[in-house]
Structure 1
Amino acid sequence: MKTTHYHTCNLCEAMCGIEVEHRGDEILAIRGDKDDPFSRGHVCPKAVALQDLHHDPDRLRHPVKRTVDGWVPISWEQALDETAQRLHAVQQRHGKNSVAMYFGNPTAHNHGALFSLLPLIKAIGTRQRYSATSVDQLPHQLAAWQLFGNQAMFPIPDIDHTDYFMVIGGNPLASNGSIMTVPDVKNRLKALKQRGGKLVVVDPRRTETAAVADEHHFIRPGTDVYLLLALIQVLYKELLVAPGRLDPLLDGKGDLQKLTENWTPEKVSEAVGISPEAIRKLARDIAAAPRAAIYGRVGLTTSPHSTLSAWLVYVLNIITGNLDREGGVMFTKPAFDIVALGALGGEAGSFDRYRSRVHGYPEFSGEFPVTTLADEMLTPGKGQVKAFVSHAGNPVMSCPDGNKLDTALEGLEFMVSIDLYINETTRHADIILPPTGQLEHGQFDPVFQAVAVRNVVKYTPPLFEKPEGALHDWEILNGLASRLNRLKARTARDRLQIAAADRFMRKIKDTGIIDLGLRLGPYGAGGKVMEALKRDGLHTLPSQAWKLLRGKHKGLTLQSLKDNPHGIDLGPLQPALPERLFTRDQRINLVPALYFRALQGLPVPKAANPDEMLVVGRRHIRSNNSWMHNSQRLVKGKSRCNVLIHSQDADRLGVQEGDELVLSTEAGSITLPAWVGDDIMPGVISVPHGWGHDRQGVQLDVARRAGGASINDVITSSRVESVTAMAQINGVPVKVEAAAKPKSKKRTATRKATADA
């Protein structure tokens, strides 16, 4: 019997609603859900591939342990007990910071994992924490915290109402938005043009988004900061600064003007690759637009000056009067308010409270940048990392210096991975704990609902029942945390508290936390409980939670979402300031000290080096993370792992389409075929990340056969951003050479005959 189930695709940030037709465990079709008020029937190829991932024969479905004879299955009880005991033993021998933790991108797509991370982090108690944040959005979070008082206070482009949309280093037509959850972006951009609006893209590549833009400006990778400074300089010089109604809330306008007054378009033009006239026109167009939104993304935030660039994007929106106004950049009012709850729990943000052992890199929100992870494992001495916990991440493929991290993982005393696959990173684990798959647990998106271009909320129950003997992410993480806490307990009271916390989590489950968060949110009825938590602290949450969940209240609840399987539209983004500000004085300082110092030390831009090639990444609609390469639906067709190179550079190197190119740095070298065209700036090459699954022991059959190579094997971890030590993975100089062509048998035989004669 055929059945239709409504779900949410969780393979990227778009949260597209899907309609899954199935017969028992057999998926018959996956289509876009036309009744989803947010995605409106839109679906991309990734959603259709969910059935590949669900039935993937390479996917682990029970815990495994590495032995001399290979991987062997073990029980959950043994897996969790042994993991906790071995982590505890390492810390007993080497100290609490001898264990490192890494959380990958998919962690943010799994509400159960998100809700359970903090107890595990506290149970392990290490400062050696890492995540995909420092190869992605850290500069945005830092700027949000510095300007608005909370690291999760991202200003989101109001794309449905803006008249002028500038995209710098982003490609929403391929990504479906990023820190801007925007399904059906193609039609939203069409609507922008139909109402007379303008789309402008600034990127070293003519991306899919640039191809449909009204204007596209090539920019030399890593020079975004200079363009932004020049734009602000023009606005001040031509008296176009107009913050609007937020002007009384702003401090530092004079400091900003002084800091930018010498960064003229003429000063930066040659380095940036955009003429002074074009820069001035961009500034004037932004100022003249009735409503404008400037959006910068990963190409900007993983570049040499990413801290300054992310800050300046927000500042540019502020001083043109486009912050917190319809059609500009606005703040969401999420049903599950992670911003307010994070602030309540002391997670609003932090920077440089302490530094890493080896390189002295600063922490951000309790995490070190991944650029020091391998060296923390390889460098002997007190505090050396001896054990590693990874969740839903593959840093060997996604972080710089993949080969170096590969070597570092080999030397650990113990490693455990919570993951579905044996990949380039998890192959080093002693124990792998596989959670349920994407369609075997419910889906709720507290992170991406908080960065959506409309206020929306949705919960979808699991399509398939949890397989017998399987555990969800939250159950695995809670099981580890409870066991570690019991091992560290010193008194009977400690043990009682640990048992009570464990019972609370098992009883409330992940769905109970969703229900609680909704009731505490702005559409719920838990205002009095929220006030009590603010007054008494989060340690009173269990008792307060039971009061709220047991009572009959009006307002949004989990049942409300279950009654609306297509999701609930809570309306467009609305002005929220100053009430939504989390700064102590509820004001916005345009030039916090951190940025003042960084801007003082910014070097004068240099002209492009004709002998130097800079590499940038490349996003594709059928990919997101490296583990998606194990879906035949997503990798079929012509190989996408190649080197996009401008025809001028190809001619100079003597290569044609399909010829092999060797890319090398001090970190290593890779060889890939050339894709010759004029959709990229001369002097720049583009290579997608996450490919090349040929390391020994990797059990990803489809991905292995797909070929390619990992660009992170040639990006060194020593090249870091000056303020945060975040990874630089865009605008990195590489040596590019034509690979030696194999000699034909005929020519080889002729040469041999000549030599013999």
Structure 2
Amino acid sequence: MLDQGGVRWSAAPGEDGDHVTYCRICEALCGMVATVENGRVVRIRPDKDNPASKGHICVKGPAIADVTNDDDRVIHPLKRVGPPGSFKRVSWDEALDDIAARLQSLLANHGTEAFALIYGNPPAFGMTSVMAPSIFQQALGARKSFSPQTEDTASVLLAHQLLFGTTSYAFPDLPECDHLLIFGSNPLVSHGSLMIAPRIKSDLDAIAARGRVIVIDPRRTETARRFEHVPILPASDVWMLAAMINVIDEAGLIDETFVSEWTTGWRDLRAALSPITPERASAHCGVKASHIRQLAIEFATAERAAAMCRTGLCRGTFPTLSNVLLNTLNIVAGKFNKRGCSGFGHGATSSADMLDAAGMAGYTPNASRTSALPAVVGSLPSTTLFDEITVPGEGRVRALLVSGANPVMSMPGGARLPQAFAALDLMFCLDLYVTETTRCADYILPATTFLERDDAPILFGGHMVRPYMQYAPAAVAPRGEARTELDILKDIAARMGKADAFGAMGPLEAADMILRTGPEGESAGEGSAMLSLEKLKQHPHGVVIKRGRWAFRMQDKLKHADKKIHLFEPLVAQEIERLRNTQVDESNRLRLFSMRKLRSINSWMHNVEKLVRSDQPLLLMHPDDAAVRRIADGDLVRVSSDWGAVDVFVHVTADVIKGSVTYPHGWGHAGGWRRANEAGGANVNAIAPSTPATAEQISGMSWLDGFSVEVERLRL
């Protein structure tokens, strides 16, 4: 295959030469070129011709070659023959026949409520790898699913559902923005998250050159260090946002025209928030009242401004309300649905419509059998998983499919999950490794890495800062006996007589249909990109959507029946009342919050030597807090909460706000991956609040940021 410059690219999987592909480790989807020799990926470099990333790539992208070639990787079906971690190699037929027969019997005897699904991060950015488990669940007629959503996005999705009636994600117009507020996000490390912005560092630099980038965060993060930093106490942003809305209202800077035309509930929201003055907010968040006023006025008077956030707003005590108020700040200040501000996106596909079609949408109150917690976008809260398996009664989970997830490491209280797994009648996992979770399974079925499967980022078409679309064929054939998630689960369904749910189309045929009938497909008419799979094959680096992200009508994005933005839904009113009744925390206990590290992605890439050899997990503590506790830099300390304790090493630094400590999650391994086990550290989720009562009740979101801990020096 020749590109426009006459360079020859390899096309067949495993063929020697360079293969154009893209990264599926996070939402950035950076373009890459994989060099193959003798059927093996030997190196990966950035794709300078990718229209979105233009040569950007982080250190994790090339490391997928190490994962693909890892000696510790599972590449044959494994059956457990003893205690957790004891496996023998078996044939695919033996494994799938047994799984299908046992699952068929369980469903016949106990009903579809006895089956549950957990899906995780590694397959989350692949077209079929993320959809296949949901299709399998539909084939069984089952509904219970768990995911990292309640440690990541459930509050964001619920906030959008309440405001807009849809899970379509609103995000800033980075290329044209001049004034950006970043709450609880570290995009120089996370690369944006939820929005597809592979060149976000360049975008932020350009915004700062034109105007300002202001980072509100408890830690002086990599992003905060590069731009302006406003320190704030963990999980307190909700107070600052409420006060900023009040300041803008009192200053007469509300966009009354937009609010009147497009929203409902503004008067009720204004009245409910009125007691939250900058002075009251300051007592809760640690930002001076005068600074809150200044930031609010500067934001409202900037012509092209936007406020954005990520997990720092999503995992405290008011995560849904925090996300509602952040979007409300954009809306009432006249910074929504405008170039240079915040708004929905347009691209080759509609992510919200696809999730809806797959049954991965909506809000279900009281969805949990064992608590009053809801399901958001079809996913039950992580804090209910243990009880769903262990509490007797009708609907108890007896069979569990885990696809690319490691809940023992990622869920709060995950350390006790092996006890629950032991109560299951069947547990089978699709994974790359024997992890802390999969070691408990009856079967581990080897899945592919993204270098070993065909793909297109059709699930993310509506979240792209600069929309484009790309098709990436597999660079190499699957190692050993690895198979795609779709092939594995379709085969099990076929053995149960339920393959019809997967349809007659193959994944590439389905992708082609989605592209052709989508917003930029051949049926979209004049001005569209006229996308099809064949066109993408002719342009291996990707096709730009020339109409850009704003080529939509907002009334088509809003899904409430009245086509309005609802600012004061009953759940919002309920949460504001709870906020107003919250007292200032005057205890002397420290608040623990999590942090991201550039060389780490949750827990699943810690077996790569080049990533972990210089990446020691450390607890960051302010010098004043350390001095009071007689703790010195490098000391071993015990971090204790009401839910447990872990021992970690400390780094004393003024980068973290006084009164708080932070530690990265995903460490402290004890699985079948040797380098990860040697990497050390501790699993901070083991001491996080882990019962249904500690989750946010309206979203089920886990409380992972801002809970109280004690830190004491250990004498060696």
TM-score range for the pair, normalised by the shorter chain length:
over 0.9
Q: How far did residue 526 of structure 1 move? A: 4.0
Q: How far did residue 499 of structure 1 move? A: 5.8
With over 3 angstroms needed to count, the CA separation of the structure-2 counterparts of 1:171 and 1:500, relative to structure 1, is closer
With over 3 angstroms needed to count, the CA separation of the structure-2 counterparts of 1:106 and 1:76, relative to structure 1, is same
Within 5 Å, which residues of 2 pair with 1:296-695? Answer: 296-343=309-356, 348-352=361-365, 354-467=366-479, 469-484=481-496, 486=497, 498=498, 504-505=503-504, 508-526=505-523, 555-571=530-546, 572-574=548-550, 576-637=553-614, 639-694=615-670
Take 1:726 and 1:501, find their aligned partners in 2: how far apart are those partners?
Answer: 31
Q: Deviations over 1:220-250 (max 9, x none)?
A: 1121111111111111111111155564121
The amino acid of 1:515's aligned partner reads: D
Within 5 Å, which residues of 2 pair with 1:262-273? Answer: 262-273=275-286
Q: Deviations over 1:87-108 (max 9, x none)?
A: 2222333332222211112232
Q: Is the 8 A contact 1:150 1:343 kept in 2?
A: no
Q: How far did residue 274 of structure 1 move? A: 0.5
Within the candidate set 696, 700, 706, 1:721 is matched to: 696
Q: Is the 8 A contact 1:615 1:731 kept in 2?
A: yes
Q: Is the 8 A contact 1:271 1:605 kept in 2?
A: no
Take 1:8 and 1:611, find their aligned partners in 2: how far apart are those partners?
Answer: 48
Q: How far did residue 22 of structure 1 move? A: 2.8
Q: How far did residue 303 of structure 1 move? A: 0.9
Q: How far did residue 145 of structure 1 move? A: 1.7
For 1:40, the equivalent position in structure 2 comes to 54
2:73 paired with 1:76 = no
2:192 paired with 1:177 = yes
The amino acid of 1:599's aligned partner reads: I
Q: Is the 8 A contact 2:259 2:266 kept in 1?
A: no
How well do the aligned residues superpose, as a CA RMSD in angstroms? 2.0
Q: Is the 8 A contact 1:98 1:384 kept in 2?
A: yes
TM-score (norm 2): 0.93
With over 3 angstroms needed to count, the CA separation of the structure-2 counterparts of 1:704 and 1:499, relative to structure 1, is closer
Corresponding residue SS for 1:433: strand
Corresponding residue SS for 1:355: coil
Take 2:501 and 2:418, find their aligned partners in 1: how far apart are those partners?
Answer: 37
Q: Is the 8 A contact 1:330 1:573 kept in 2?
A: no
Take 2:248 and 2:162, find their aligned partners in 1: how far apart are those partners?
Answer: 23
For 1:490, the equivalent position in structure 2 comes to none
The amino acid of 2:601's aligned partner reads: N
Take 2:215 and 2:237, find their aligned partners in 1: how far apart are those partners?
Answer: 12
Q: How far did residue 470 of structure 1 move? A: 3.5
Q: Return 113-122 or 662-671, whichever deviates more.
A: 113-122
For 2:73, the equivalent position in structure 1 comes to 59
The amino acid of 2:162's aligned partner reads: Q
Within the candidate set 137, 140, 159, 1:124 is matched to: 140
Q: Is the 8 A contact 2:589 2:708 kept in 1?
A: yes
Q: Is the 8 A contact 1:123 1:481 kept in 2?
A: yes
Take 1:77 and 1:299, find their aligned partners in 2: how far apart are those partners?
Answer: 46
Within the candidate set 173, 182, 189, 1:167 is matched to: 182
The amino acid of 2:134's aligned partner reads: L
For 1:547, the equivalent position in structure 2 comes to none
Q: How far did residue 5 of structure 1 move? A: 1.4
For 1:489, the equivalent position in structure 2 comes to none
The amino acid of 1:680's aligned partner reads: V
With over 3 angstroms needed to count, the CA separation of the structure-2 counterparts of 1:607 and 1:467, relative to structure 1, is closer
With over 3 angstroms needed to count, the CA separation of the structure-2 counterparts of 1:351 and 1:384, relative to structure 1, is closer
Take 2:480 and 2:431, find their aligned partners in 1: how far apart are those partners?
Answer: 18
Q: How far did residue 603 of structure 1 move? A: 4.2
Take 1:425 and 1:344, find their aligned partners in 2: how far apart are those partners?
Answer: 30
Q: How far did residue 463 of structure 1 move? A: 0.5
Q: Is the 8 A contact 2:183 2:312 kept in 1?
A: yes
Take 1:643 and 1:424, find their aligned partners in 2: how far apart are those partners?
Answer: 23
Corresponding residue SS for 1:384: coil
Within the candidate set 121, 125, 133, 1:109 is matched to: 125
Q: How far did residue 18 of structure 1 move? A: 0.9
Corresponding residue SS for 1:733: strand
Counting matched residue pairs gives 694
Take 1:482 and 1:325, find their aligned partners in 2: how far apart are those partners?
Answer: 49
Take 1:716 and 1:342, find their aligned partners in 2: how far apart are those partners?
Answer: 30
Q: How far did residue 685 of structure 1 move? A: 0.5
Q: Is the 8 A contact 2:447 2:483 kept in 1?
A: yes
The amino acid of 1:576's aligned partner reads: R
Q: How far did residue 732 of structure 1 move? A: 1.4
Q: Deviations over 1:386-415 (max 9, x none)?
A: 221111100110010022223212222221
Q: Return 373-382 or 553-562, whichever deviates more.
A: 553-562
Q: Return 23-32 or 681-690, whichever deviates more.
A: 23-32
Q: Is the 8 A contact 2:524 2:530 kept in 1?
A: no
For 2:106, the equivalent position in structure 1 comes to 90
Q: Deviations over 1:294-327 (max 9, x none)?
A: 1111011011100100111111111111111111
Q: How far did residue 375 of structure 1 move? A: 1.6
Corresponding residue SS for 2:487: helix
Take 1:558 and 1:511, find their aligned partners in 2: how far apart are those partners?
Answer: 8
Show structure 1 runs of 4+ deviating over 6 A.
Answer: none
Q: Deviations over 1:560-606 (max 9, x none)?
A: 11111111121432153123222222121211122112212224443
Take 2:396 and 2:424, find their aligned partners in 1: how far apart are those partners?
Answer: 10
With over 3 angstroms needed to count, the CA separation of the structure-2 counterparts of 1:477 and 1:247, relative to structure 1, is farther
Within the candidate set 674, 684, 690, 1:711 is matched to: 684
Q: How far did residue 2 of structure 1 move? A: 5.8
The amino acid of 1:623's aligned partner reads: S
Q: Return 434-443 or 510-519, whichever deviates more.
A: 434-443
Q: Is the 8 A contact 1:90 1:98 kept in 2?
A: yes
With over 3 angstroms needed to count, the CA separation of the structure-2 counterparts of 1:597 and 1:416, relative to structure 1, is same
Unaligned 5+ residue runs, structure 1? Answer: 487-497, 529-552, 743-757
- Tell me which structure has the larger Cα radius of gyration: 1
Q: How far did residue 556 of structure 1 move? A: 1.0
Q: Is the 8 A contact 2:367 2:373 kept in 1?
A: yes
Corresponding residue SS for 1:626: coil
Corresponding residue SS for 2:21: strand
The amino acid of 2:221's aligned partner reads: T
Q: Is the 8 A contact 1:113 1:477 kept in 2?
A: no
Q: Which has the higher helix share?
A: 1
For 1:206, the equivalent position in structure 2 comes to 220
Take 1:649 and 1:672, find their aligned partners in 2: how far apart are those partners?
Answer: 16
Q: Return 32-41 or 596-605, whichever deviates more.
A: 596-605
For 2:233, the equivalent position in structure 1 comes to 220
Take 1:106 and 1:500, find their aligned partners in 2: how far apart are those partners?
Answer: 27
Corresponding residue SS for 1:327: coil
Corresponding residue SS for 1:615: strand
Q: Is the 8 A contact 1:243 1:322 kept in 2?
A: no
Q: Deviations over 1:692-716 (max 9, x none)?
A: 113xxx2111101111110011112
Corresponding residue SS for 2:335: coil
Corresponding residue SS for 1:217: strand
